[in-house]
């Protein structure tokens, strides 16, 4: 009884208890690990193949000619043979095929073949890609034995890193995982501890309020960072997620995850203070998480959004976390290179904790 009271022991005991509790809470595990992994799985298998253009071959078309042979060699074009005219017409109208091709021997001699291509207005974008593929292909076929008179094109490709879908999706999912753990987890825990008088019972012990917040924080951050490592490891080894500088990149990502999590936990504190009952936590939390989930470049690049929507996206903290994560992971940026993104996150953090201090309730 005479030894001085240790706040550190109290904080660590709380952290341990909280961590055990989180690990046994199905919702925490589902939101932090299962959801992001499912999305990564789906997009990991979907992505990577690039654009494919379906091109139907007309039933009456000649198949033994250099044009069809050359098209079969183009990886971007998928030739659909053995379909009858009616099927092709239907598919064209729906935009399932980009075009139909019909190659015929020219009875009058030169040129040796005539190529008829019919595009569909239902799939103009792919049609245009196909158009340039065909132009390119016919040009090289036609000029095979001809010496160019004006200029010869010499093409080469710089060998760069392959940007896979996973390189875009994984940081987004990681950000979402941190957002949901931070907001939902923190909000639920502090609300239920308050509601069930667990915190009141804590107050009857010599523990300090700051120890309670830190203990909870350590547990939640520990759990979320373990989740992040798990997601990164699965992404890297199963879906070839790019980690330019290996371990250093992972560490940088974890630092970003930590900063993001602190900000998101601030939202959680606010929600737990605002909620009047347990059932109001999910709607309030969703108001915070869903817009960020959809608008912060989790699934699609913000650049793809209409221009009136982009300012909203650029106001959200998750946008900057995702952005920084992608720069660090794929472009190999250092933390100093993403200082702008970090700064925005910190500004959000200051703002949200200012609100949290006002609305957070202990009892």
Partner 1 sequence: MERKEAIISVKNLVKKYDDFTAVNGITFDVYENEIFGLLGPNGAGKTTTLEIIETLREKTSGEITVNGFSVDSDANKIKRIIGVQLQAAGYYPNLNLVELLELFSGLYDVKISPMEMLGKVNLQDKAKAKFKALSGGQKQRFSIATTLINSPKIIFLDEPTTGLDPQARRNLWDLITEIRDAGTTVVLTTHYMDEAEQLCDRVAFVERGEIIVIDTPDALIDNLVNSGFERKKEVKKANLEDVFIHMTGKEWRADN
Interface residue list for partner 1 (CB under 8 A) = 1, 5-6, 9-10, 12-14, 16-18, 20-21, 24-25, 192-193, 196-198, 200-207
Q: What is the DSSP secondary-structure string of 30-66?
A: IIIIIHHHHHHHHHHHHTTS---EEEEEPTT---SSH
**Residue 241 CB, nearest approach to partner 1 (Å):** 32
Cα distance between residue 61 and residue 92, in whole Å: 17
Nearer to partner 1 among residue 65 and residue 192 (C-beta):
192
Nearer to partner 1 among residue 86 and residue 204 (C-beta):
204
Nearer to partner 1 among residue 165 and residue 195 (C-beta):
195
Residue 265 CA, distance from chain mean position: 21
Nearer to partner 1 among residue 29 and residue 312 (C-beta):
29
**Residue 200 CB, nearest approach to partner 1 (Å):** 6
**Residue 321 CB, nearest approach to partner 1 (Å):** 29
**Residue 276 CB, nearest approach to partner 1 (Å):** 18
Helix 339-359 × helix 247-274 angle, to 10°: 20
Vertex 165, ends 159 and 166: CA angle to 5°? 100
Residue spans of alpha helices (H) in the chain: 7-23, 26-29, 35-46, 66-72, 85-94, 124-142, 165-180, 186-195, 198-203, 209-239, 247-274, 281-295, 310-313, 317-330, 339-359
Nearer to partner 1 among residue 69 and residue 201 (C-beta):
201
Q: Which two tokens stand for residue 74?
A: 């183009």
**Residue 40 CB, nearest approach to partner 1 (Å):** 27
């Amino acid at each position: 009884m005479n030894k001085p009271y240790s706040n550190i022991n109290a904080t660590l005991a709380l952290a341990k208890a909280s961590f055990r509790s989180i690990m046994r809470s199905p919702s925490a595990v589902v939101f932090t690990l299962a959801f992001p992994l499912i999305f990564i799985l789906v997009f990991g298998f979907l992505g990577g193949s690039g654009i494919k253009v379906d091109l139907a071959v007309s039933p009456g078309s000649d198949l033994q000619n250099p044009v069809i042979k050359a098209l079969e060699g183009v990886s971007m074009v998928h030739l659909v043979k053995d379909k009858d005219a009616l099927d092709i017409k239907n598919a064209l109208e729906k935009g399932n095929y980009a075009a139909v091709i019909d190659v015929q021997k020219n009875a009058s001699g030169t040129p040796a073949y005539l190529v008829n291509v019919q595009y569909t207005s239902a799939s103009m974008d792919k049609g245009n890609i196909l158009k340039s593929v065909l132009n390119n292909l016919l040009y090289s076929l036609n000029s095979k034995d001809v010496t160019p008179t004006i200029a010869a094109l010499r093409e080469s490709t710089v060998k760069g890193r392959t940007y896979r879908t996973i390189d875009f999706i994984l940081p987004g999912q990681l950000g979402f995982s941190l957002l949901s753990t931070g907001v939902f987890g923190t909000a639920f825990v502090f609300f239920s501890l308050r509601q069930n008088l667990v915190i009141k019972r804590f107050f009857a012990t010599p523990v300090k309020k700051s120890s309670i917040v830190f203990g909870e924080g350590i547990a939640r951050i520990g759990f979320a960072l373990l989740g992040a490592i798990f997601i990164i490891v699965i992404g890297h080894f199963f879906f070839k997620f790019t980690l330019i500088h290996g371990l250093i990149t992972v560490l940088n990502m974890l630092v970003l995850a930590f900063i993001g999590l602190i900000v998101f936990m601030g939202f959680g504190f606010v929600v737990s203070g605002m909620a009047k009952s347990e059932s109001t936590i999910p709607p309030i939390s969703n108001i915070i998480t869903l817009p960020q989930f959809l608008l912060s470049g989790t699934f699609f690049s913000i650049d793809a959004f209409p221009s009136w929507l982009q300012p909203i996206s650029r106001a959200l903290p998750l946008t900057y976390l995702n952005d920084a994560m992608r720069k660090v992971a794929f472009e190999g940026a250092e933390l100093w290179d993403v200082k702008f993104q970090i700064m925005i996150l910190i500004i959000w953090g200051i703002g949200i904790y200012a609100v949290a201090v006002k609305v957070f309730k202990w009892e």
